[in-house]
Amino acid sequence: MKIDDIDIEAAIQDARKALTEDGSVDPGVRVLMEVLILIISLLCKRLKINSTNSSIPPSKDPNREKTQKSRSSRKSGGQKGRKGVTLERVESPDECVV
């Protein structure tokens, strides 16, 4: 995987190789570096996941192009010929709220 022209997988392999070959590294630091390399590897694998190779929906794909809706020839709101139904005033209301 490449990010900004840097081959991440090759860099991880180089770091692992240097870590195993260098005998002067403290064992605690060695374990810490192995954990960090593992975390970086897992995060790189998550970057490759999208809706085509996992169970996430296409709407959750990062950087996906959203399609624009085409404009209709009709005006917004109720169209001609629609029979409107609204509330009508009552002569004696039960309660008046101001």
Phi, psi of 42 (to 5 degrees): -65, -40
Domain boundaries, the chain: 2-54
Q: What whole-number percentage of the chain has pLDDT above 70? A: 97
Q: d(Cα 83, Cα 69) in Å, to the nearest integer? A: 28
- Residue 43 has a pLDDT of 83
pLDDT class of 1 with cuts at 50, 70, 90: low
- The reported pTM is 0.47
> Is residue 4's pLDDT more than 80?
no
| Average pLDDT of the residues in 10-20 | 84
Who contacts 4 (Cβ-Cβ below 8 Å, separation ≥6)?
none
